[in-house]
A and B are shown apart, each in its own frame.
Chain A
Amino acid sequence: MALDLDRSIIGEEFDRTTYDPLTAEELVAFATALGETDPHYTQPGPDLVAHPTFAVRFKGKKFFPDNLPESLRFRMSFDAGKDLDVGVPVRPGDAITIVSTLHDVYEKTGRTGTMVFVVVRFTLLNQRGEQVAIVDNRLMYRGQDQ
């Protein structure tokens, strides 16, 4: 699958979505579903913060930029993994904004042929503009000859 990409779109913000303020119940439900027992993540009160991987539950309204080639936008992809950088803690009442950018597009050749990886970056900010997290979402597309 030859990559025909205008690389100037990399790094451009293509979506900005703000969620309603979070409740303590949402934070606790997330942590409890992971089997967490630490009271910082599970006990409502002034010390409650979100589990550090809570940030990966967010996504913007639009997952791809409109100017990503159609060969990538409309094909089936696989969730190849995520990289999470943890920032300031998330607390009840925080309103999280997701700023989405196309972070990288690259090809790799392995035993099963050529694959294309698209990395969509979500930068999460709270209502004070503090960085809550950076989440890089790696999507993998197998070559059309696969």
Chain B
Amino acid sequence: MSGRRYDDVLEGDELATRELVLEKDQVRAYARATSMYFARFTDDEGARKEGLPGMITPGNMSMGLLGSFVEQWSGAGTLRRLGTTFRGLVLPGRTIRLCGAVTQKDDATRTVEIDVWLENDDGERCVIGTATVRLP
């Protein structure tokens, strides 16, 4: 299922940044698919009643977006580990950027460590993390 080979990767390689508008309906679809259909993830007014600026993206979804972003680079089925820290709110309806860079290779396990982050249109890193992929 993999598309990228270990020997073709260098420490310092950057993943091509992916920019997208995270639509509110996409967030609602994720909330529905994960049985998290709560106001904070689906409805601006309901989210404001909880003290939020509007509906927000589940942290799990941000994690999923980063997982997909990494595998689009490394190949489906290669992700072994993904650790994320949720630092700020990810607001739907705005542009986000998914970014990453290779920090380390391990020849013994043929694994690659990648720093990843999700930033908003103000350049704030709302989610940061580290991914590990195993490559052929």
Chain A contacts to B: CB under 8 angstroms: 26, 29-30, 32-36, 38, 40-41, 49, 51-53, 56-57, 78-86, 89, 138
Contact = CB atoms under 8 A, between A and B. Distances in A.
Contacts of A81: 59, 83-86, 129
Contacts of B71: 38, 52
A92 B61 CA distance: 21
Sorted from nearest, which 6 A-B pairs have the closest CB atoms? Answer: A33-B30, A81-B85, A33-B29, A83-B83, A29-B33, A57-B34
B108 interface: no
B104 interface: no
A33 B26 contact: yes
Interface of B: 1, 20, 26, 29-30, 32-36, 59-61, 63-65, 67-68, 71, 76-77, 79-86, 129
Instruction: Output the residue of B26, B32, B33, B35 with the most chain A CB within 10 A.
Output: B33
A34 B95 CA distance: 15
26 contacts: A29-B29, A30-B33, A33-B26, A33-B32, A33-B34, A34-B61, A35-B20, A40-B76, A41-B76, A51-B64, A52-B67, A52-B71, A52-B79, A53-B63, A53-B64, A56-B60, A78-B86, A80-B86, A81-B129, A82-B60, A83-B81, A83-B83, A84-B63, A84-B82, A84-B83, A89-B77
